[in-house]
Chain A
Amino acid sequence: MMPRSYYWLVIGLSIPAFLWLIPTLWMVSLSFQPNEILARTTSSTFFGLIPLPFTLDNYAALFSFGQTPYWFLNSLIVSLGMTLAVLFVSTTAGYALARLDFPFKRTITVICLLGLMVPEQAVFIPLYTMFADFGWHNSYHALILPRVAVPIGVFLMLQFFKAIPKDIEEAARIDGVGWLQIFWYVMLPLARPAMMTLAILTFLYAWNDYLWPLVSAQQREYFTITLGLASIQSNFAQSEGLGRVMASGVIASLPVVLLFLIFQRYVVQAMTAGGSKG
Chain B
Amino acid sequence: MKHLILATTAATLLATSLPAQEVTLGRFFGACEDAGTDTTTSTGEACIIQSIINAADAELDGVSITTLPTDWGNYYDQIKAAYAGGTPPDVHVMHRHRVPEFAGLGAIADISADLEAAGIDSSDWAPAALDAVSFDGGIYGVPMDFHANLWHVNMDLMEAAGLVENGAPVLPTSPEELLEHAQMVKDATGQDYLAADFAQFPIGVRLVLALMWQQDANIFGEDGTATIDTEAGRNAVTAITQLFDAELANPQLNYADSQQAFLNGEAAILVNGTWVVDFYTAEAAKEETGLDSYYVADFPTLFETGATWADSHMWAIPSSLEGEERAAALRVLAFINDHNIDWARTGHMAVRTSVIESDAYTSLPHRDEYAGTASIARDTPPSERYGAIQDVLNRELQAIWLTDKDVQAALSDAELEVQDLLDR
Residues of A near any B CB (own CB < 8 A): 40, 61, 64-67, 128-129, 131-132, 135, 137-138, 214-216, 218-221, 223, 228, 230-232, 234-240
Chain B contacts with A in 173-232, Cβ cutoff 8 A: 201
**How many pairs, one residue from A and one from B, have CB atoms within 8 Å of each other in the complex?**
98
Asked whether A219 lies within 8 Å of B87 as measured between CB atoms, the reply is yes
B214, chain A: closest CB distance, angstroms: 26
C-alpha spacing A234/B81, complex, angstroms: 18
Asked whether A66 lies within 8 Å of B33 as measured between CB atoms, the reply is yes
Asked whether A240 lies within 8 Å of B70 as measured between CB atoms, the reply is no
Asked whether B81 lies within 8 Å of A239 as measured between CB atoms, the reply is no
Residues of B near any A CB (own CB < 8 A): 24, 26, 28-34, 44-47, 66-74, 78-79, 81-82, 84-87, 89, 201, 255-256, 275-276, 279, 288
Asked whether B81 lies within 8 Å of A67 as measured between CB atoms, the reply is no
30 contacts between A and B (CB under 8 A): A61-B33, A65-B33, A65-B34, A67-B31, A128-B84, A128-B85, A131-B85, A132-B84, A132-B86, A215-B81, A218-B78, A218-B82, A218-B85, A218-B89, A219-B66, A219-B68, A219-B89, A220-B67, A221-B66, A228-B69, A230-B71, A231-B70, A234-B73, A235-B30, A236-B28, A237-B276, A239-B30, A239-B45, A240-B32, A240-B33
**List of B residues within 8 angstroms of A66 by Cβ:** 33
Instruction: Tell me the nearest residue of chain B to A137, going by C-beta.
Output: B85
**List of B residues within 8 angstroms of A239 by Cβ:** 30-32, 44-47
Residue of B24, B67, B72 near A234 (CB, 8 A) is B72
Residue of B24, B84, B87, B201 near A236 (CB, 8 A) is B201
The answer to whether residues A237 and B44 also contact, given A214-B74, A220-B67 and a CB cut-off of 8 A, is yes
Which of B44, B79, B87: most chain A Cβ within 10 A?
A: B87
Residue of A138, A215, A220, A237 near B30 (CB, 8 A) is A237
Asked whether A67 lies within 8 Å of B73 as measured between CB atoms, the reply is no
Residue of B24, B34, B46 near A237 (CB, 8 A) is B46
Instruction: Tell me the nearest residue of chain B to A139, going by C-beta.
Output: B87
Asked whether B31 lies within 8 Å of A240 as measured between CB atoms, the reply is yes
Instruction: Tell me the nearest residue of chain A to B256, going by C-beta.
Output: A238
The answer to whether residues A231 and B71 also contact, given A131-B85, A239-B31 and a CB cut-off of 8 A, is yes
**List of A residues within 8 angstroms of B68 by Cβ:** 218-220
C-alpha spacing A88/B32, complex, angstroms: 41
Asked whether B33 lies within 8 Å of A128 as measured between CB atoms, the reply is no
Residue of B34, B71, B79, B84 near A232 (CB, 8 A) is B71
C-alpha spacing A66/B33, complex, angstroms: 6
C-alpha spacing A214/B81, complex, angstroms: 10
The answer to whether residues A223 and B256 also contact, given A218-B85, A240-B33 and a CB cut-off of 8 A, is no
Instruction: Tell me the nearest residue of chain B to A215, going by C-beta.
Output: B81
Asked whether A128 lies within 8 Å of B87 as measured between CB atoms, the reply is no
A107, chain B: closest CB distance, angstroms: 36
C-alpha spacing A67/B78, complex, angstroms: 19
C-alpha spacing A64/B44, complex, angstroms: 21
C-alpha spacing A259/B84, complex, angstroms: 37
Asked whether A135 lies within 8 Å of B33 as measured between CB atoms, the reply is no
Asked whether A218 lies within 8 Å of B70 as measured between CB atoms, the reply is yes
Instruction: Tell me the nearest residue of chain A to B36, going by C-beta.
Output: A65
A134, chain B: closest CB distance, angstroms: 9
C-alpha spacing A214/B33, complex, angstroms: 21
**List of A residues within 8 angstroms of B279 by Cβ:** 237
**List of A residues within 8 angstroms of B81 by Cβ:** 128, 137, 215, 218
The answer to whether residues A220 and B74 also contact, given A128-B81, A132-B84, A237-B30 and a CB cut-off of 8 A, is no
